[in-house]
Amino acid sequence: MLPDRLAAQLLTGPPARDPVAVAERLLAIQAQDLRGALLAVRARSTGLTRTDVEDACTRDRSLVVTWLNRGTLHLVRAVDYPWLQVLTAPRTRVANARRLQQEGVDGRTATRGVEVIVDALGREGALTRGQLRERLDAVGVRTEGQALVHLLVRASLDGHVVRGPFVGGTQAFVLTSDWLGDAEVVPREEALAQLARRYLAGHGPADDRDLAKWSGLPLGDARAGLAAIAAELIERPEGGVELRGRRRRVTQRSPARLLGQFEPLLLGWRSRTEVLGTHQGVVTVNGIFRAIALVDGEAVGTWRIEPSAVELAPFGPLAESVSRALERDAADVLRYLALPSRPFEVGEPPGTRSKTAGRRRP
């Protein structure tokens, strides 16, 4: 199923024309690491820069970031925010209340904190996280530790705020109603059907448990959504379903790509074995998903950007052609992120030495 999923994910086939088209296909792109979300857009498009994503958030207001699936920050289209927020927020409220209590913020103080956030944004417009901390500190609402983060989560779960424009390189918070306007209320049953349809567009073939895992919703909700669009689905002999008429003819191999942290390809289904093989413990560490190098749909190493080089830590020996393809993609990563050029360095695979091990390229 991996070739079909790579096509659904825009990692093979025609690239997306702009950041909004990427978000339309994937529906929700994990963004707790913003650079990871930016790189997810890069890998599925061509000729763009991070400024195109920032403009979509700032100038066009077509993309926003907020806490949605699994109680985690996601980049989504503004038009998809209302119904996704209604579906996913209730599931996160209990955990948020518990975390606020653990941070020393009781229910009354949390309500006061949200009021301060909403009032400040209403009077002053877009404010950064640091600026909101100052407003809360000024009235004695606790912000130490992780208290500020969970107050912002609370305000987001209540539908009051989203992350919108970029201000000085930082994405600021805004009032949802001011930034996006009033949204039409979507009945829950219709929203679940929309969730299932849109999930399969960017992740099919998949099954009910995959949808539940990705969305963070109960399995019963995932099954209800799929049942609502049963007439639109076809079953795959190897398992899972896909949208009728949406199967993409896979005619090319997946190009060598450097994918960012929390890459959607690793978060869309229950199993990551097709992509990671035996290396899952190397990539997923304490809830962090490391950036991976993808070749022919399989992870061949992890990578990171250091001040002196783009460093690749391969899982095994790499062919010279693969190393050069990844080197070219590293240059495109730096171009996209508007970072200075630096060498590409391939480390020594564990237990072996490759021809490119330790080699630095100008």
What's the pLDDT score for residue 169? 86
Whether 293 is in a domain gets the answer yes
What's the pLDDT score for residue 354? 42
Tell whether 146 and 276 lie within a shared domain: no
For every residue of 248-295, DSSP letters joined together read PP--SPPPPEEE-TT-HHHHSSS--HHHHTT-HHHHEETTEE--EEEE
Of 180, 196, 218, the last residue of a domain is: 180
Tell me how far apart the alpha carbons of residues 107 and 111 are, in angstroms, rounded to a whole number: 6
pLDDT level of residue 250 (50, 70, 90 thresholds)? low
Query: Domains in the chain: how many in total?
Result: 2
Residues 6+ apart with CB under 8 A from 328: none
What's the pLDDT score for residue 101? 97
What's the pLDDT score for residue 184? 86
Tell whether 173 and 275 lie within a shared domain: no
Whether 236 is in a domain gets the answer no
Tell whether 24 and 169 lie within a shared domain: yes
Q: Supply the pTM of this predicted model.
A: 0.94
Whether 147 shows a pLDDT value over 80: the answer reads: yes
Q: How far is CA 347 from CA 9, 172, 228, 314, in A?
A: 29, 38, 50, 7
Domain range spanning residue 121? 2-180
Residue 215's Cβ-side half-sphere holds a number of Cα atoms within 13 Å equal to 35
**CA 339 centroid distance within chain:** 21
Tell me how far apart the alpha carbons of residues 56 and 19 are, in angstroms, rounded to a whole number: 7
Q: What is the mean pLDDT of residues 280-289?
A: 94
Of 163, 180, 197, the last residue of a domain is: 180
Whether 267 shows a pLDDT value over 90: the answer reads: yes
